[in-house]
Structure formats: C-alpha cells, structure tokens
Amino acid sequence: MKIIRNIVSFISALILIVLTIVFSLYSFGLLSANFIPNLILRSYNNWQLGAVYLLLLLGALFVIYPYFTDEKFKSTHLLSSESGDITITVSALSNLIKDRVKTKEKFNDIKIKLKEQEAGLKITLNGKLTVPGDITSISENIQRDLKKYIEDTTGIQVSKIQIRIDAVKKDDKLPEKVE
C-alpha cells in the first residue's frame, strides 16, 4: 500500500509541476492568450478527458487522505496512579518481545502481531528458527518464558502466544572436542 501511495504521490507531484509551469508561462505572456480558454473549450463534452480528470482527482484524494485521518499510536493501558495514566505503545511492546525472544532462543526475522482481547493480550510470532534441538520444546520454552516476562515486566495479562515457524535453519556448528 505504501508503494502505491508513493507512486501516486510522485505522479501527482509531476502533474502539479507541469501545471505550474504552464500557468507560469501563461501568466508571463509566453503562451498564447487563447491557450487556456481553448484547452477548456476542447475538454467540454469530452468524456475521455472527464475520466482523466476524475482519475487525477482520485489520485489527489488518495494522497491527501492520510493527513485527515486521526492515526494515533496504539497503546495498552498499564497503570493508573494519582499522577496520571501509564501506557505502553504497541511498538515498544513489540520491541520488548523481540529482544527477549532473540536473547533466549535462536528465533530470527521475527514478525510480531499483538491483539487485545478480553482475556488478555494475544501475541503471534512469525520467524525463522535455528536448531539443533526439539522444535516443540523450543517453542514451548519461548511461550512460557515470554508470557512470564511480559506479565512480570509490564503487568499486562497474556492470554495466548502463538508461534508460526516460517523456516528452520540447522546450526551446522559442531561442538568442540573437550579433552
């Protein structure tokens, strides 16, 4: 979606540049006095140009839409005190989770989804796991450790931790011989 928005923004900026140059040249008298009126007359009752203008309008609306939406940082309520409320943003919570999982297990390229539910926070982890070891026991260790860590650190109740392993990488390092 971001790529599409950037492309539409770029095209809109190019069109705005061309229009600015045309109107500047017209204002300085470098274009014919009939240029703009003739352009307007040629576009009357021309459905093809009408469709182009509507597409330009939709593109412009698409570009300016994010400026009119109220996009707030999503956060989770931690504590209320007499001084005020304490909240943690979803991105900060994601960073806590990512750092904890990376330090405890060899789980890389982690993508985290958080969803608040009545029973507590649902955490979904996607990533690549480096083994040796039993995949199910590693996953269960991640779930237990992460649940305890988040509940102890933030006080947020964790209802469920789902783990999806996108790829498994074998650790080819052999243990060194100990004599």
**Do 149 and 109 meet the contact criterion of CB atoms below 8 Å apart?**
no
- The whole-angstrom separation of Cα 143 and Cα 146 is 5
End-to-end CA distance of the chain: 58
Tally of residues, the chain: 179
Lowest average pLDDT, out of 12-16, 24-28, 67-71, 82-86, goes to: 67-71
Distances in Å between the Cα of 18 and the Cα atoms of 97, 123, 137, 147 are 49, 49, 62, 57
Q: What per-residue confidence (pLDDT) applies to 142? A: 86
Whether the predicted pLDDT of 73 surpasses 60: no
More confident residue, 173 or 11: 11
Whether the predicted pLDDT of 77 surpasses 80: no
Lowest average pLDDT, out of 21-35, 65-79, 133-147, 153-167, goes to: 65-79
> What does residue 124 show for φ and ψ, rounded to 5 degrees?
-120, 125
Rg from Cα positions in the chain = 28
Average pLDDT over residues 144-163: 88
CA angle 77, 105, 108 (to 5 degrees): 80
- Domain ranges in the chain are 2-68, 75-170
75-170 folds as Alpha-Beta Plaits (3.30.70)
